[in-house]
Amino acid sequence: MVKRHDTTTIEHVPPSVEPARRAVAALLVAFPKPIALGLPRLGEAVGRAWFSERGHVDPEISGEHLGFLRKGPQLCVIDERSRNGVFLDGVRLPPGEPVPLDDGSVIRLGRTLLVHRECPTKLEPASAVGKLVGPWGLSGVRRALGQLRASGARNVVVEGETGTGKELVAEAVAVALRRRERFGVVNVAAVARGVFEAQLFGWKRGAFSGSAQGGLGVLLRHDGGAVFLDEIGELPLDVQPKLLRALENREILAVGAETPSTIDIAIIAATNRDLDAMVATGTFRRDLLARFDRRIRIPALRDRAEDIYAILSALASARGAPLIPERVEIEAVERLLLHDWPANVRELDSLLTDLEPPGRLTLHAVEARLGRLEPTRSGAPLTREVLERALAAAGGNQVAAARALGVSRGRFLRALKVVKT
Ligand SMILES: Nc1ncnc2c1ncn2[C@@H]1O[C@H](COP(=O)(O)OP(=O)(O)OP(=O)(O)O)[C@@H](O)[C@H]1O
Ligand SMILES: [Mg+2]
């Protein structure tokens, strides 16, 4: 499983000249309630008291449960003297053995799930933006939304994989630009090729056969507001220059018209396609992409596992069947945090369909949908036993062993060095 923090926002303006900040390791409580914790002092065994002093009470955590230490540059977690174990990415750690952590590693202890992150700044869980929930992983999106109005941006494109919440972000953009009152939506993928121009820019009487009357396009109808062009990546190449003109000069030319009209409109676009790759292959015009003042990228759900339970819980409440934390099996949530989520939040939401009885979440129900986690996948912690077994199976060939575990050779060697010292 790939676990990393992508840069969430790409801006055309050069990044600010703030000095680069060093990443700080943090433990983010992903279940039951979002809380940010720093690391305990390295080499020190901590437990129940350490957590409760920081606002996280879990009676199932032992007095001296786990610890953290560095082996060279590598941060490791160790099960100190826990009664009920420390689990890293779903696998129980051998007691007393330090095991390397990665950015995004999921740690379970008692009834607590932590995600380890290297963060540039100290994080605090953030509240929802409208319906958009994400206490940790949407900080880049939030920052971009916060800067929009002052930046004078007019054309914004929201990018992200399918199901990442682009529609919600597009609405938040319209709110940020104070243009939510007049908000038109066009699903570009659903518009028949021949009528796109007329739909967007309008048409004059007699512009085509049967057009006894002229018509306003969606842009003019929302003059003073915003138009959301969903699935902009599907925009036919021949229509792209016309949209470019609207973005550039706020001028639109109705089909059959000779003089353009000027409008005041914000264009908010969204796509799950890779626009840079489309520019490279000539299917999306570079100049059109360049007319977007801001690009807001929503990270994939698999890269913000720390948000999953908070989002799930909000989605369950929105369905009128809130999750009851005491009736949620922690192993079920852990399984969710370790899933790849190819369809992102949409897939998370559909998991709640027909959940019986409402309010309850069991590992059994989750595995029935997502399958069981294969423990030797790249998500599994690289304990001495896992490494040695893989090496033996590969006849001592480290490259082959790393490949079999689904990790890079570098990570494999780092882990091997850690468990051998
Ligand atoms: N962060 C979030 N918090 C709460 N709900 C979310 C969040 N992200 C997405 N959703 C919900 O997930 C579902 C999918 O989101 P949405 O339709 O916005 O995806 P999309 O990015 O437009 O996907 P596609 O590219 O397939 O159109 C919606 O029901 C949306 O409300
Ligand atoms: Mg969509």
Domain range list for the chain: 139-297, 304-370, 382-421
Please report the pLDDT score of residue 5 as a whole number.
38
Cβ of 301 less than 6 Å from ligand 1:
no
Measure 323 CA to ligand 2 centroid, in angstroms.
26
- The whole-number average pLDDT for the span 187-203 is 89
Cβ of 131 less than 6 Å from ligand 1:
yes
* pLDDT single digits (tens) 48-78: 999 999 999 999 999 999 999 998 888 999 9
* pLDDT single digits (tens) 274-294: 999 999 999 999 999 999 999
Under the banding of pLDDT at 50, 70 and 90, the label for residue 15 is very low
What number does the ligand 1 atom closest to the CA of 134 have?
1
What number does the ligand 1 atom closest to the CA of 164 have?
21
Conformational region of residue 282, where left means phi above 0, alpha means psi within -120 to 50, and beta covers everything else = left
Measure 270 CA to ligand 2 centroid, in angstroms.
7
CATH number for 382-421: choose from 1.10.3470, 1.25.10, 2.40.50, 1.10.10: 1.10.10
Cβ of 349 less than 6 Å from ligand 1:
yes
Find tokens 């030797």 and name the residue: 376
Please report the pLDDT score of residue 3 as a whole number.
41
Q: Is 139-297 assigned to CATH 3.40.50.300?
A: yes
Q: Does 13 score more than 60 pLDDT?
A: no
* Range 107-116 burial, b when 16+ CB lie within 10 A, else e: bbbbbbbbbb
Cβ of 319 less than 6 Å from ligand 1:
no
Name the residues around ion ligand 2, CB cutoff 5 A.
Answer: 167
Cβ of 347 less than 6 Å from ligand 1:
no
Cβ of 135 less than 6 Å from ligand 1:
no
* Domains 139-297 and 382-421 in one fold: no
* pLDDT single digits (tens) 111-143: 999 999 988 777 889 999 989 999 999 999 999
- The whole-number average pLDDT for the span 393-418 is 82
CA 394 to each of CA 123, 180, 375, 404: distance values in angstroms, whole numbers, following the listed order: 42, 59, 18, 8
- Nearest ligand to the CA of 137 is 1
